[in-house]
Amino acid sequence: AAWEKQVRHSSTPRRVNGFSVLVTGAAGFIGSHCSLALKKRGDGVLGLDNFNDYYDPSLKRARQNLLSKHQIFIVEGDLNDGPLLTKLFDVVPFTHVLHLAAQAGVRYAMQNPQSYVKSNIAGFVNLLEVAKAVNPQPAIVWASSSSVYGLNTENPFSERDRTDRPASLYAATKKAGEEIAHTYNHIYGLSLTGLRFFTVYGPWGRPDMAYFFFTKDILQGKPIDIYRTQDQKAVARDFTYIDDVVKGCLGALDTAEKSTGSGGKKKAPAQLRIYNLGNTSPVPVGRLVSILEGLLNTKAKKHVITLPRNGDVPYTHANVTLAYKDFGYKPTTDLASGLRKFVKWYVNYFGIESKHSKETQHFDESS
Ligand code: NAD
Ligand code: UGA
């Protein structure tokens, strides 16, 4: 295969800094940022992504180009391709897997429920089946989601809070992932760390997310919907900036225990860990929109509508004490500063002439 030739002849996935990391979903938003950060500090990185068209694949290709400039190669393939995954582990002795590939998005689950089951449940199981049989087993850090807290009313959310009321099928598949991880940890001694990300945003972000399409629609003079809860309260999110999340992912990889199993045989149970990675400061969607209006110097056409029953939860709010204690996770970017960086990237990427384009001429592609 083309990738094998590439991988065998490049130094890309070899260990430099001690780690050799398989990043699944490397052409995605969080995966591309994490791959770059790992590479920059000297770790070996190989990506895997199926480049699906859930959102514009040209953005995934652009991220891939950026990664390839940094000598990071992405194998094009699906999580459900067992022989491909086995082959990857045969060719590269991965010490870690950063598993970010998934069907993301909350509301799309009502249109295409099966894609969530395929990638987030079947695909995850497939990866774990392959990883458990590798000797020595890699430590796995994977993306869970704040959505597992569902309709909780505790505020803020702590890892021990109940997660038995998922409001969307997306949330249910992420919750299922946590249960499945528990099983593979218990039976096969796989080292597994789940990260519950909270509405992550930033440059190179996802076009299906509100901050992204609000920016597009505001610039195009199109109306936007701002959800309010059934009882007319503001909907709020603990919006978390990508660089903070990347630091959290690297911290989780650095503190992951070695797996205790090998070749599918369990020795002693490695830890199963779950952490919130949020910003600890929920912001109402209306405030997100006014920050964007300011940055874009354009008034939004706002429609405030009652939140339909579409899988959304009324608010999210992370308690990150555990991640701070175990690997020093501390979010440092507030929403206004983070959105400023996003808008700077956005106008540059889409080549938009605006009051901002002057400021963005010296845009750094990776920030
Ligand atoms: P993303 O959609 O940009 O990235 C996911 C990548 O995985 C995509 O490039 C996609 O092509 C790939 N992929 C999907 N299914 C695949 C499969 N079956 N095989 C191979 N590749 C596949 O999303 P993201 O925002 O970068 O999210 C990364 C992870 O974090 C996901 O697991 C997501 O559920 C989770 N998460 C994201 C957020 C957020 O706000 N961005 C919040 C909570 C959790
Ligand atoms: C995001 C990601 O899309 C999920 O993949 C991820 O798992 C989840 O975060 C998480 O934290 O676990 P969400 O918070 O719904 O999900 O992100 P957006 O779709 O960008 O919505 C952000 C906020 O805007 C939400 O409060 C939503 O209710 C609101 N919204 C969305 C509107 O007010 N209007 C819209 O038209 C769309």
CA 237–ligand 2 middle distance (angstroms): 8
How deeply is 179 buried, as exposed, middle or buried, from its count of CB atoms within 10 A (0-12, 13-18, 19+)? exposed
Ligand with minimal distance to 67 CA: 1
Distance CA 180, CA 191 (A): 13
Q: Do residues 192 and 272 touch, judged by C-beta distance below 8 A?
A: yes
Catalytic choice (116, 170, 188, 275): 170
Tell me, yes or no, whether 9 lies in a domain: yes
Best residue for ligand 1 mutational test, from 48, 197, 316 (most atoms within 8 Å of Cβ): 197
Tell me, yes or no, whether 254 lies in a domain: yes
Tell me, yes or no, whether 99 lies in a domain: yes
Distance CA 41, CA 63 (A): 19
Q: Consecutive sets of 10 residues in the chain, 367 residues long: mean pLDDT of each?
A: 70 63 98 98 96 98 98 97 97 96 97 98 98 96 98 93 96 98 96 98 98 98 96 96 98 89 59 96 98 98 93 96 98 98 98 60 41
* Whole-Å CA distances, 79 to 75, 187, 244, 281, 317: 11, 22, 27, 34, 31
* Whole-Å CA distances, 246 to 98, 112, 114, 125, 343: 11, 29, 29, 24, 19
pLDDT of 259 reads 76
Nearest CA to ligand 1 atom 6: 25
Tell me, yes or no, whether 340 lies in a domain: no
Ligand 1 neighbour 189 (Cβ under 6 A)? no
CA 24–ligand 1 middle distance (angstroms): 9
- Amino acid in the structure at residue 81: D
Ligand 2 surroundings by CB, under 6 angstroms: 104-106, 145-147, 197-199, 209-210, 225-227, 235, 237, 285, 312, 316
Which structural domain range is residue 153 located in? 2-201+241-280+316-333
pLDDT of 367 reads 41
Task: Single out the residue of 92, 49, 103, 101 nearest to residue 74, CA to CA.
Answer: 49
- Amino acid in the structure at residue 36: L
Q: Which atom of ligand 1 is nearest to the CA of 27?
A: 9
Q: Which atom of ligand 2 is nearest to the CA of 198?
A: 11
* Token pair belonging to 182: 């528990």
* Token pair belonging to 93: 């002795």
Task: Single out the residue of 99, 167, 164 nearest to residue 130, CA to CA.
Answer: 99
Asked if 54 is an active-site residue, the reply is no
* Whole-Å CA distances, 297 to 219, 300, 316, 359: 9, 10, 28, 14
CA 358–ligand 1 middle distance (angstroms): 33
Best residue for ligand 2 mutational test, from 142, 199, 302 (most atoms within 8 Å of Cβ): 199
180-195: string of b/e by CB count within 10 Å (b at 16+)?
bbeebbeebbbbbbbb
Query: Does the complex come out with an ipTM higher than 0.85?
Result: yes
Count CB neighbours of 266 within 10 A.
Answer: 18
Q: For position 130, which CATH number holds?
A: 3.40.50.720
Ligand 1 neighbour 200 (Cβ under 6 A)? yes
Q: If you ran DSSP here, which 8-state letter would residue 119 be given?
A: I
Ligand with minimal distance to 149 CA: 2
Distance CA 281, CA 331 (A): 10
64 SS3 class: helix
| Strand ranges for the chain from DSSP E | 20-24, 44-49, 73-76, 96-99, 139-145, 192-197, 200-201, 223-228, 236-237, 240-241, 272-277, 283-284, 301-306
Side-chain half-sphere exposure of 124, counting CA atoms within 13 A: 31
Tell me, yes or no, whether 235 lies in a domain: no
Nearest CA to ligand 1 atom 33: 104
pLDDT of 362 reads 38
* Whole-Å CA distances, 77 to 60, 93, 101, 167: 14, 19, 11, 30
Tell me, yes or no, whether 118 lies in a domain: yes
The pair phi, psi for residue 282, each rounded to 5°, is: -65, 145
Ligand 1 neighbour 27 (Cβ under 6 A)? yes
Tell me, yes or no, whether 236 lies in a domain: no
Interaxial angle between packed helices 210-219 and 285-296, expressed in degrees from 0 to 180 and rounded to the nearest 10: 40
Ligand 1 neighbour 119 (Cβ under 6 A)? yes
pLDDT of 366 reads 43
125 SS3 class: helix
Tell me, yes or no, whether 171 lies in a domain: yes
Total structural domains within the chain: 1
